[in-house]
Amino acid sequence: MSTTRIGVFDSGVGGLTVLRELIRHVPNSEYLYFGDTARLPYGSKSVETIARYAVGASRFLQDRGVELLVVACNTATALALDCIVQSLEIPVIGVVEPGAEHAANASKSRSVIVIGTEATVLSHAYQRALASRGVTTREKACPLLVPLVEEGWTEHYVTEQVARIYLGEVFAEEIRSRSHSDVLVLGCTHYPLLKPLLKRIVPNDVAIVDSAESTAQVVAQKLGLAPEPHADATADVYCFVTDSVEKFRRLGPRFLGHPLNGVEHINLGG
């Protein structure tokens, strides 16, 4: 089987959770990862600025020969996917639609909770995607979880307490409205690292849907591969970042699951 060169774009390190799932589902490929670490967070920027940054990064990867682009950033997917698609000549897959499709298929109650950053929640991208599939959505922004994950506190009692507060609020709303959501969608690329912790918090009958895994399954199917993950999968990975290489090398393994070697600093300008 010939090697496929796949580009993965994110505003920082979080997209490495998507890359990790891509390697498991589409092994023996070559991956070019772009982390726009100098200009994060995207959530505080205007839609026009996010689109400009995202299109520039995506064209950078296309110019280096990627045959397919995965937009791993939830914010860029929610606010700039159409601009990216129109600007490139290769297939583009974002993380929202795969996550929404998986959640819709998993939900028996046709009601879903989505947690994410404030920008992703305010975009209502998951809400629209799920509504088009006949599923109602309750959204919750959890802004403190990203810095806690980047601090490496994925099993820290502080992180668990913060998560309990956020989810306690949303499940309390469920009780007041007499609704019952049976799926929790992780609408941020940092959140997969919190899955073990979140499983201890949510009710036993609530399934957790990871958009990173859902996206990797869609990419595998698009390339004609079985959607099941491969044990001990490997791939060639090259990373490009717009800020500190050393910081990326330090944080990256928490998200990817193994050390990062090939990391290059680039400057795209404005």
Nearest to 15 by CA among 144, 190, 185: 190
Q: Residue 150 in contact with residue 174, Cβ under 8 Å?
A: no
Q: Please classify residue 262 by burial: count the beta carbons closer than 10 Å to its beta carbon, then call 0-12 exposed, 13-18 middle and 19+ buried.
A: exposed
Q: How far is CA 235 from CA 31, 101, 226, 230, in A?
A: 7, 27, 17, 12
Residue type, 24: R
Examine the residue annotation and report whether 83 is marked as an active-site residue of this protein.
Answer: no
H or E segment and range at residue 64: none
Give per-residue burial for 179-190: e unless 16+ CB within 10 Å, then b: eebbbbbbbbbb
d(CA 158, CA 27): 36
**C-alpha–C-alpha distance, residues 183 and 107, integer Å:** 6
Are 112 and 96 in contact, with CB atoms under 8 Å apart? no
Residue of 73, 83, 142, 239 marked active site: 73
Catalytic residue among 83, 142, 188, 239: 188
Catalytic: 239?
no
Q: What is the DSSP secondary-structure string of 215-229?
A: HHHHHHHHTT--SS-
**Residue 9 DSSP class:** E
Indicate the pairing of strand 236-241 with strand 207-210. Answer: unpaired
Q: Which residues are catalytic?
A: 73, 188
